Copies of this chain bind each other. A is one copy, B any other.
Amino acid sequence: MALLDYDPYARDCPSRQLLDRIGDRWTVLVVGLLEDGPLRFSELSRRVDGISQKMLTQTLRALEADGLVLRTAFPEIPPRVEYELTALGRSLLDPLHVLVAWATENMGEVQAARDRATAA
C-alpha cells in the first residue's frame, strides 16, 4: 500500500487524522502509561511529569472521544476516575511499538546527521 492512498486534505483521510492525534506531545505518553492497566487521573498526572492538568484532561477527552480510552467515574467522595485502553486503543500499541523500535535503532544515526548539519 502506498503511503498516500488518500487525499491528505480530505477530512476522512485516515492517515492524516491518526498523525494529528499521535503527533501531539502527550497522547502517546498517556497511551504508553495505560499499556499495563487502568490508572487514575492523579496517577497519570504524576507519571506524565510536566503535563498540566489542562492538557491531561484535554488529551484524555480526545482519546475517550476517539474510542481509544475508557473513562470510568466511581460515585464516591472524594471522586475517583479510572482510565484504561479499550480494545481499539490496545490495537494501536503494535504500530506504536514498531515506530518506537525504528526510533531506538535509528535515532543515533539521525542525531549524527543533525550534528553534521549543525557543524556545517
Q: Which A residues are closer than 8 A to B by beta carbons?
A: 1-5, 8-9, 12, 14-15, 17-19, 22-24, 28-29, 31-33, 35, 49-50, 64-68, 88, 91-104, 106-107, 109-114, 116-118
Contact = CB atoms under 8 A, between A and B. Distances in A.
B66 A97 contact: no
Contact of A32 (B4, B65, B96): B4
Contacts of A1: 97, 100-101, 104
B110 A67 contact: yes
Give the number of copies in the complex: 2
Contacts of A49: 9
A107 B5 CA distance: 14
A64 to B, nearest CB: 7
Among A4, A33, A35, A49, which residue has the most Cβ atoms of chain B within 10 A?
A4
Given A28-B15, A98-B95, A65 B117 contact: yes
A119 to B, nearest CB: 11
A111 B97 CA distance: 23
A106 B90 CA distance: 12
Given A3-B32, A28-B3, A103 B18 contact: yes
